[in-house]
Amino acid sequence: MASTTRDLGIDPAVLVEIYRQMSRIHEVDKAIQAGLSSGRFQFTYWPMTGQEAIPAAIAPLVTPEDYMLTIYRGIHDQVAKGVPLKGLFAEALGRRDGVNKGKGGSPHISHPPSGSMLTTAIVGGNTVIANGLALANKMRGTRRVTIANFGDGATSIGTLHEAMNLAGVWKLPVIFLCQNNQIGEYTPIPEYTASKDFASRAAAYGFKGVRLDGNDPIAFHNAMKEIIAEVRDGHGPVFVEAVTMRLSQHAGVGWTTHLSKEELERAKADWPVPKTRKLLLEAGVLTAEELDAIDQAARKEVEEAIEFALASPVTPAEEMLVDVYGDPEIPPRRHQRVKRAAERLPQGERKMMAMYEAIQDAIEISLELDPEVFYLGEDIGDPPGGVFRCFKGLKQRYPERIRPTPIAEQAIIGCATGAAIAGMRPVAEIMFIDFIGVCLDQISNHAAKQRYMSGSATHVPMTIRTITGGGLGGLGAQHSQALEAILLHQPGLKVVYPSTPTDAKGLLLSCIFDDDPCVQIESMLLNYTTREEVPLGDYRIPIGVAAVRREGSDISLITYGWHVRVCLQVAEELAKEGISCEVIDLRTLLPLDYDRILSSVEKTGRALVVHAATEFCGLGSEIAATINEELFAKLKAPAARFGAAYAPIAYSRAIEDAQIPNAGTIAERVRELLKY
């Protein structure tokens, strides 16, 4: 290194390191664009040409222990964070040796050893998850910082609002790093926003926002040095707007076409890669030969990575059902009949509990068992101790681990997802299942898919508890729906639905200590009207095990939730007519216990699946179809399903009673099936 001839405002060795990262990023970008143009390989690429200085200037300030999240336009962030280029290219090409086994691809990189925790292709989706990673760091008492990268386009989406609000109120050690490249996909500022800048928004959430030149690696590095130190010291979140310019297309290869030729030439003059190279040369920090050597080394590293990736086999079809869950037996498939052992309940002391009390018991046990379990949700502090009274008195005993949240379901689920990726066991409450609509992106695109997209490099051991208000009457269309089918259609989730206090406690404990995202759906009706003697202490009801609630010989009534009680009434009534009903309580909706379902129907020869959810495309259709296919020759009547009429739940009690299967209408369906 030559002696410096002028003060650069930065340690020259650090600037060289920043340039080295920029050169690596630039060579990766160039090699991808060349490979795509020449047809050497094909994948969907969202180039980041022009934005190289931002992650390069941060790289010397963080370690692999610090967390980073980014978006589909984030290859520069991955390179600077230290994701190995061989695994990165193999991933982008969908190869077996990719960092995520070729299952995530270029828009979904996760590489925990380097601290790259999650990459989203849903604009803004990673910001709420960053909060969870930051919360885990805070609760564990570390000094790690979490940086969430996103583009200016993400400033328009509601997720970021929820993320910033929660980070502010919880003083989370997170940096929201907006790489303002001045265009959201194909729509430039000011066509999509009237905001003059984005950094000033942070003040509205009660924390600091700064606007920096993301194309000036020295000034940007120096500012970030202070910001990262502040965040490490526990002063709460910071919003950084790093102003840059995307010189490339939204996707694919080539220079941007949204700038005129003159504008592009001007923008290129501010391009940090050649600009920094020139600076190092002119300041006498490095000679042309030394700079060439850096670029040459980067080129060599990239070429070796591409050759490695092209030599790696395309991830084979046999991998299809691996990584959906930790256990490859969980995904439903044809002719699947997994035998799972039933629970053995403890023989000791029992106590009379309502379902909501049994749930509180499970909550307390989980908090005692594992310091990494914590709860978050609306109103779970005292008062009211949870709107369903499951948290009474707990906030005082576990002030950090019972976390009442803002009314912001995306923030709740994203935070739980992030903390779970960090290895904690968060339990989120979504007050009513109808509200999953406002956080379905977090549940579906992020929590459920993350294990698969990361090839199990990460997983999400979180639990969601949610309530269905149906059957009580008077709660209206937005607090009464049975929406389990929506969750069942998302590979990656497990769904349980208890009908007894004993099961509610034992299933919840199983969910909390399961390594995949689980949803426990609870019935508000059952929570307050069902009481029984519940075993004290820790026990588990295994996931994927149904229970026979009443034995019978003429027909199997297969059901769950509050319809277990209704079907038991029907069985009692029909017994008087000489019809013997077997009642199966599914308890878990995914994975289904097809072994116990089919065993029952093999015995009875008839089946009716009953649920409060809409019949059309409901779980009943799935189970009935499977029974018909598997047991066709043994059936005395076609397996049938009975669910709610195709309408939102009405406020009128007369309509609600009629639109959901009730004891009278269920009995009628059974009698019809007996006529075959």
Partner 1 sequence: MASTVLTIPKLQMSSTEGTLAEWLVEDGALVQAGQPIYTLETDKAVQEIEAPVSGRLVQKKPAGETYPVGTEIGEIVAE
What is the binding site for partner 1 (CB under 8 A)?
Answer: 33-40, 42, 44, 249, 251-255, 257
Bridge partners (DSSP) of residue 137 are: none
Helices within 370-437 (DSSP H only): 394-397, 409-421
Strands 425-432 and 555-559: what pairing?
A: unpaired
Say if residues 135 and 109 touch (Cβ distance below 8 Å).
no
For 382, other C-beta atoms within 10 Å of its C-beta total 15
The closest of 648, 332, 378 to 494, measured between CA atoms, is 332
Give CA separation, 486 vs 137, 468, 491, in Å: 33, 14, 11
| SS3 sequence of 607-630 | EEEEEEEECCCCHHHHHHHHHHHH
Residue 19 parent element (H or E): helix 12-38
479 is catalytic: yes
Q: Which two tokens stand for residue 185?
A: 């996909």
The closest of 648, 649, 593 to 623, measured between CA atoms, is 593
The DSSP annotation for 220-271 comes to HHHHHHHHHHHHHTT---EEEEEE----B-SSSSSB-SSS-HHHHHHHHHT-
For 667, other C-beta atoms within 10 Å of its C-beta total 19
Distance from chain centroid for Cα 205: 24
Alpha-carbon torsion angle 308, 314, 320, 326, nearest 10: -10
CB closer to partner 1, 254 vs 638:
254
Residue 135 parent element (H or E): helix 125-139
The closest of 468, 391, 386, 464 to 428, measured between CA atoms, is 464
The radius of gyration of the chain's CA atoms, rounded to the nearest angstrom, is: 28
The span from the CA of 56 to the CA of 73, in Å, is 15
Say if residues 467 and 523 touch (Cβ distance below 8 Å).
yes
The span from the CA of 468 to the CA of 526, in Å, is 10
Q: Which two tokens stand for residue 372?
A: 């990494």
Determine which one of 26, 479, 563, 611 is catalytic: 479
The closest of 353, 628, 320, 641 to 504, measured between CA atoms, is 353
The closest of 227, 210, 215 to 56, measured between CA atoms, is 215
The span from the CA of 499 to the CA of 504, in Å, is 7
The span from the CA of 508 to the CA of 497, in Å, is 10
Q: Which residues are catalytic?
A: 479
